[in-house]
Structure 1
Amino acid sequence: MHRAFARPALVAGLALTLAGCGINSIPTAEEEVKARWADVQNDYQRRADLIPNLVATVKAAGAQEKDILTEVTQARASANQVKVSGEQLTDPRAVANFERAQNAVTLSLQRLQEAYPELKSQGNYTTLMSQLEGTENRINIARRDYNQAVQAYNTRIRTFPDAVGARIFYGAKPITPFQATTPGAETAPTVNFGNAS
């Protein structure tokens, strides 16, 4: 009779021990990070999808400063080539390369906006630039949410009791957050897409 209770108690005790060691919380936190990374990628893709329409609108208005249009197109193409999967989020160089490529797109869009002040009065240009500005805001929010998920995950895999399960069962490594990769990036640039007064 005593043995009949010992086995279920042992199993229950083992289950509680494993549950307290992050057996479920580590994969849950990792999936949250990957979901937030997907949000970041979606917003960058939205921006990349808007750029051809913007370039076409500018070309239609007048083919001046073709080098800037070429720069925007090339920056977009380069950024679309740099991919980072959820498994690569532990590689700081992969994340930094991704961020560098995306920063090149942002800078080329800023140059385009500065080069074409006469286009601000055209409806299509204003609408596209407004959509791009909104997308830049979405990117900032998605990056913040990603960094918060990374912080929660990295804290979880480094603190007791989850650190035990993170190392033993998953071999968990810290995930790389977004950081400023461009010199001077800690100071936000002034960006005016034509709708500020």
Structure 2
Amino acid sequence: MRALSPLRLLLLSLFAVLLSGCGYNQIQQKDESVKAGWSEVLNQYQRRADLIPNLVNTVKGYAAHEQQVLTDVTEARAKVGQINVNADDAASLQQFQQAQGELSSALSRLMVVTENYPNLKADQSFLGLQTQLEGTENRITVARGRYIQTVQDYNTYIRSFPQNLIAMMFGYQQKPNFTVENERQIQQAPAVDFGQPAAPSATPQPPQPSPQPAN
């Protein structure tokens, strides 16, 4: 193999310095941060999905006739598992977050139903699953929030001069993010706290008879 001439080596060295100075290395670092953040989001969603079969089976043991709610959770989980999400594709990410939102809603309805079964709420297996689900929902919220910030940082960086020139040269494009309309879901996990039962509604009092006038 023929050795590179001193002039070519010099040109390559200058080119490398220019790339580094224009943000090429930083683009790589930020791109890897986005990938790591997305992996953590998927990891936490998968953690929740793994809890659901045991949760459904435990609830079914006490509330088998709540079939519609149990079916909704199972079907929503199955739908999530069928999505092959690509975080770099806006339509794919939208489909993914919609399916995850439907699963969150189904889980919330399931948790409301369990309020009607004191024996279920005292079951140790259910209590353990409840604690794990609470922790997982919080982790999902944190992971999504960090991912949003990481993508925003990456997108802002590659749009700024002179990094935008390097990004165009090497084909780096803006990445899609979780949509604005989902911000409330991102900030507030589904309620899974059974510590405070709903206050009973006040029982209406029968009307009192009017006093009769004295004769």
Q: TM-score range by the shorter chain?
A: 0.7 to 0.9
TM alignment of 1:28-67, pairs within 5 A: 28-67=29-68
Aligned in 2, Cα 1:32/1:185: closer, same or farther, shift over 3 Å?
A: closer
Unaligned runs of 5+ in 1: none
Q: Which residue number in structure 2 is paired with residue 113 of structure 1?
A: 111
Query: In the TM superposition, what is the alpha-carbon distance from 1:192 to its structure 2 partner?
Result: 3.5
Cα distance between partner residues in 2 of 1:66 and 1:123 = 22
* Structural RMSD (CA): 2.5
Alpha-carbon deviations, 1:48-94, whole Å to 9, x = none?
Answer: 00000001111122312111101100000001111213xxx332221
Cα distance between partner residues in 1 of 2:104 and 2:157 = 34
- TM-score of the superposed pair, with normalisation by structure 2: 0.78
Q: Which residue number in structure 1 is paired with residue 88 of structure 2?
A: 90
Cα distance between partner residues in 2 of 1:22 and 1:162 = 5
Aligned in 2, Cα 1:19/1:139: closer, same or farther, shift over 3 Å?
A: same
Query: In the TM superposition, what is the alpha-carbon distance from 1:130 to its structure 2 partner?
Result: 1.7
Query: In the TM superposition, what is the alpha-carbon distance from 1:27 to its structure 2 partner?
Result: 2.2
Q: Which residue number in structure 1 is paired with residue 19 of structure 2?
A: 18
Name the % identity.
41
Q: Is the 8 A contact 1:180 1:186 kept in 2?
A: no
Cα distance between partner residues in 2 of 1:180 and 1:152 = 16
Query: In the TM superposition, what is the alpha-carbon distance from 1:116 to its structure 2 partner?
Result: 1.4
Aligned in 2, Cα 1:190/1:99: closer, same or farther, shift over 3 Å?
A: closer
What letter matches 1:57 in structure 2? Answer: T
Aligned in 2, Cα 1:185/1:8: closer, same or farther, shift over 3 Å?
A: closer
Secondary structure at the aligned position of 1:90 is classed as: coil
Bigger CA drift: 176-185 or 32-41?
176-185
For CA contacts below 8 A with separation 6 or more, give which structure has more relative contact order.
1
Higher-Rg structure is 2
What letter matches 2:25 in structure 1? Answer: N
Aligned in 2, Cα 1:92/1:181: closer, same or farther, shift over 3 Å?
A: farther
Cα distance between partner residues in 2 of 1:142 and 1:184 = 15
Secondary structure at the aligned position of 1:177 is classed as: coil
What letter matches 1:174 in structure 2? Answer: Q
Aligned in 2, Cα 1:183/1:18: closer, same or farther, shift over 3 Å?
A: closer
1:125 aligns with 2:134: no
Secondary structure at the aligned position of 1:191 is classed as: coil
Q: Which residue number in structure 2 is paired with residue 159 of structure 1?
A: 160
Q: Which residue number in structure 1 is paired with residue 201 of structure 2?
A: none
Q: Which residue number in structure 2 is paired with residue 177 of structure 1?
A: 177
Secondary structure at the aligned position of 1:70 is classed as: helix
Unaligned runs of 5+ in 2: 1-5, 198-215
What letter matches 1:70 in structure 2? Answer: T
What letter matches 2:96 in structure 1? Answer: F
Cα distance between partner residues in 2 of 1:183 and 1:141 = 12
Alpha-carbon deviations, 1:14-47, whole Å to 9, x = none?
Answer: 3221112232222221121111101000100000
What letter matches 2:178 in structure 1? Answer: F
What letter matches 1:194 in structure 2? Answer: F
What letter matches 1:173 in structure 2? Answer: Q
Q: Is the 8 A contact 1:95 1:176 kept in 2?
A: yes
- TM-score of the superposed pair, with normalisation by structure 1: 0.85
What letter matches 1:96 in structure 2? Answer: Q
Aligned in 2, Cα 1:162/1:182: closer, same or farther, shift over 3 Å?
A: closer
